[in-house]
Each structure stands twice: as structure tokens, then as C-alpha cells.
Structure 1
Amino acid sequence: MKLFPVPDVPEIREGDDLAAIVSERVELRPGDVVCVASTVVSKAEGRLFDLSDFPAGPRARELAGRLSELTGDEKDPRFAQAVLEESVELVMEEPFLLTETRFGHVGVNAGIDRSNVADHDLLLLPKRPSESAERIRAGIDADRVVVTDTCGRPFRHGQRGVAIGWAGMAPARDWRGEPDRDGRELGVTVESVVDELAAAANLLQGEGADGTPIVVVRDFEWGDHGESDAHFRDVEGDFVRQALRNWRYDP
């Protein structure tokens, strides 16, 4: 398997055709996976906003006030309002906002970014990343597209790339029912392939001013495995989230 960045990607503006930008710079082959950072997808889709676009309501002011008290840093209630409007659930309210986005991803501050945004205050995640991936896929006639983002991980330091949208492939390989090396049947293993591809692409995309938001994965083989549509865990089976609902921060 090989990975390489699409070269010379310009600064993306609202309305830019990401599919055309890829097609002009690289000749894709059958089976290629095109991994696109959510940052440029959001910019092309006009997901740039200013704090003034989110007048703070009572709940946002309450959250910002509490976080300011806990952290010692002044928190803007307009930012809290943006997080609320992009979320369907506040999984944690303190010492930071952990939320579920409208498309099912759980992350800090609903994934709202304040870096690499030259003329605005905020960059929101794409509204429906899998639909974004499908549009890009159709435009470049690619086999598979993954929209990537970076976020932290429970129980581990640091961030890594994850998939928040995908098209042309199932998100996971299902190993259940296959034997291990000793002939024991696997009972629970479902491999999150789109997350693994996103993490691999993130090594080339970088985290700062690298300017390489689109990476092509070539010669990735699915193998003789089943598929699973599971990716974002259902609340009913997410025991960590259920526990967090009853947890209170004690500084």
C-alpha cells in the first residue's frame, strides 16, 4: 500500500470544486482511496462563521461561565452557543464540552476549529460528511473517498486522524466468524478500516501549516472479509457514554 499527497492544493474558498482540484493534479487508478481533510471540505461548503453569528442564549452563557470558573480562562459564550447549535447531545459539560454532532460523531466542542481560518472566527465540520464524500467521489469518478478529521482519544494522549464521512466502501471489515491462527472463531472483531485509512493519511496531511489536505491511498486491498456498516456506536451499546451521563466533574 502506498500513500501520497495531492500536490499544490490551493487555499480553498467557498464554492471551490474539490473534485476538479484533485482531477487536475493526479491521475487516479481503480481502487484508489481519496482521503480529504474535513477542513477543506468545510471551507468549500461555506462552513466559515464569525462569533457574532451565534448570539449567546442563557444556556451558552451558563456553560461559558462555568468553564471560565473552572479553567481560569475567559470563555466566550458565543462559542458555547455555536457548539450547542452543532450538537444533539452534551455528553460532558465540564471541564470541557464533549458533544455528539448531528451526524453522530462524538468530539470536543462539536469539532469546531479555530485554526487555519484567516478571515473568520470559526470553521464548523461539514453538515453531512458522508454526503460530501459522495459528491467528491462522483466528481472525480473515484472508487472510494474518506473525509477525515483529527480528535483526541479516551485513555490516550494526543490526537489522530479519524473518518467522519465515507463513500464507495463500508466503514468496517467484519472478521466475526473467521478463524484465528489456532482455529478459534472470532466473535467480536470488527475492524474500523475508514479510521485506519484516515489515520494513515493524517501522517501526510499533518496538523499545522503543512498544506497537504488531500491524500491518495493506493493498492489498499479489502481482502476476503465481510463488511459492516457500523461506525458510530449506538447509545444503547455505548456504556461509557451511559456512565458519563451520570458522572459529575469534581475538580
Structure 2
Amino acid sequence: MADAPSEGMTVFPVPDLPEITPEDDIAALVSDRVDLRPDDVVCVASTVVSKAEGRVADLEDFPAGPRAREVAARLERATGEEKDPQFAQAVLEESTDLLMEAPFLLTETRFGHVTVNAGIDRSNVPGGDLLLLPRRPDESAARIASGLDAERVVVTDTCGRPFRHGQRGVAVGWAGTPAARDWRGEHDREGRELGVTVQAIVDELAAAANLVAGEGAGGTPVVVVRDFEFGDHDGSDALFRDVEGDFVRQALRGWSFEDD
């Protein structure tokens, strides 16, 4: 039996980070706690990025309009649970497209990410009711990277998956690395040319980070991935599908949840 390799990619959390508050310098807090290498990938949970950027809000900041009251009422009929029209208003204001209205709100955020409730968090929000996603996570990642010795930063979130139970880590913003690694035109071990394989690298890094970050009260919001090599491949930043090529989204537009 072969021994386990002594070298390879490692993933470890940044310890002892404080509760993040508005205008905290995430890069400085990380640099004080770990010696980074230039090729490290620093994965930062969107929750702490949002807290540092002041993206905490109160429900009262979102007075419900007619559309929000309509959406909340339909959700109540579909689920049998009371729904807050002000929360529905917040979701609408943080979205550019509402793909599903029932039995939950599936939305496209202003930066292209498709997720439930526009990614708005209602847990662990000191000083407010809601934690909104960063406005421009790519810019957030670049700003954090500029203050680190490491050049690559991924802003992560967790969300569910179609056709599967459970949540996993995904990237919502990134800097210093392409989002995807393109294998098309290369060959497999049998010499056949690969025609469709494009690997969503930033999502895979986010998922690896989420494994060691943990969840709930014991979680840590920043994880370092060390010795990940992108390799000699073409790269792409096309992570979020365009509507024209998103056949699932097109199918949803012709579908309606029947709640009668």
C-alpha cells in the first residue's frame, strides 16, 4: 500500500478573528494572524465582507409596496406560513430578476448570482435584522487582495443546489484568478479531445474552504488554500450563465407554481 503524499494542496482556517464591524480592514486582520504566500488563495465569507461594508439593514428600511405585498401573500398561500411583506420588498430591491415566486423566492442578484431570497441572511446579524450580500463582490475581493501578501481572493457564500439536498460553498466574487479552467482542446488519457469541460475553479475553492470553515456559532469566516496550482490552461471569468444560454431559467419562465 502506498504512503499518503507528503505534498499537495492544504486548506486551513485563519484563527481568532473578531466579530467584524463596519469599516474593519479584513486584509489587515488576516495578515496579523497568518503568514501568507503570494500564491495562496484567501477565501472570505460574504457575511464578513458585508459586515465590513456596512450591508446590515433593518426591515423598516424596506417599506412594502404593492408588488411585495402580492409576493408575500402568494408565499403565505403556498407555504401556509406567515410572510413579511417588508422582507419581500428587500428581496425585490436586491434582485434584478424574480425567477420563482413560490414556494420560495428564487432571484438573480445585481451581480448575476442566482440564489434564494437574493442571498439575504437573517441570522447572526448584530445591530440589524438583515445582512445583504456585498454590492459588487468582485470589487470587494480585489480590495481585500490589495491589502494582502496573497494575490488571489475568493468571496464565498453557501446556497442550495437543484436536484440535490443540502448547501455547499460557492464563489460570488473573485480577484487574481480566472473563475474557470478551460480544458477544451486538451486530451484525455485515451487521446480523445475534450470538447465541453470547463472547470468552475472558484466554486471548487469555495467548497473546499467551506469544509474547514464550518457552520453556525463555531464557524470561521476566512480560510486559506495553499499550493493550489491553476496550471497551464486557458481561463475564463464566465461563471454566471447568460439568459440566452440558460435553458433552466428559460424553462422556469414558462412554469408556474399552482397554489390553489
Shorter-chain TM-score category?
Answer: over 0.9
For 1:118 and 1:130, locate their aligned partners in 2 and report how far apart those are by CA, in whole Å: 25
Q: CA deviation at 1:211?
A: 3.6
Instruction: State the match for 1:139 in structure 2.
Output: 147
3-state SS, counterpart of residue 130 of structure 1? helix
Aligned 8 A contact 1:34 1:145 in 2 = yes
**Percent identity of equivalent pairs:** 77
Aligned 8 A contact 1:9 1:211 in 2 = no
3-state SS, counterpart of residue 29 of structure 1? coil
Instruction: State the match for 2:62 in structure 1.
Output: 54
Instruction: State the match for 2:77 in structure 1.
Output: 69
3-state SS, counterpart of residue 21 of structure 1? helix
Structure 1 runs of 4+ off > 4 angstroms? none
Instruction: State the match for 2:256 in structure 1.
Output: 248
Matches within 5 A, 1:19-38: 19-38=27-46
Matches within 5 A, 1:1-251: 1-251=9-259
TM-score by length of 2: 0.95
Aligned 8 A contact 2:213 2:221 in 1 = yes
TM-score by length of 1: 0.98
For 1:229 and 1:40, locate their aligned partners in 2 and report how far apart those are by CA, in whole Å: 24
> Unmatched 5+ residue regions in structure 1?
none
Aligned 8 A contact 2:37 2:149 in 1 = no
Aligned 8 A contact 1:18 1:136 in 2 = yes
Q: CA deviation at 1:230?
A: 1.2
> Unmatched 5+ residue regions in structure 2?
1-8
Q: Which amino acid counterpart does residue 143 of structure 1 have in structure 2?
A: E
Q: CA deviation at 1:63?
A: 0.4
Q: CA deviation at 1:141?
A: 3.3
Q: CA deviation at 1:186?
A: 0.5
Q: CA deviation at 1:5?
A: 0.6
Q: Which amino acid counterpart does residue 60 of structure 2 have in structure 1?
A: S
3-state SS, counterpart of residue 8 of structure 1? coil
**What whole-Å deviation, never above 9, does each CA across 1:115-143 have from its counterpart, x for those lacking one?**
11132110000000000000000011321
For 1:112 and 1:88, locate their aligned partners in 2 and report how far apart those are by CA, in whole Å: 14
Aligned 8 A contact 2:74 2:101 in 1 = no
Q: Which amino acid counterpart does residue 117 of structure 1 have in structure 2?
A: V
3-state SS, counterpart of residue 159 of structure 1? strand
For 2:218 and 2:147, locate their aligned partners in 1 and report how far apart those are by CA, in whole Å: 25
For 1:74 and 1:27, locate their aligned partners in 2 and report how far apart those are by CA, in whole Å: 49
Aligned residues: 251
Q: Which amino acid counterpart does residue 162 of structure 1 have in structure 2?
A: V
Instruction: State the match for 2:6 in structure 1.
Output: none
Aligned 8 A contact 1:152 1:158 in 2 = yes
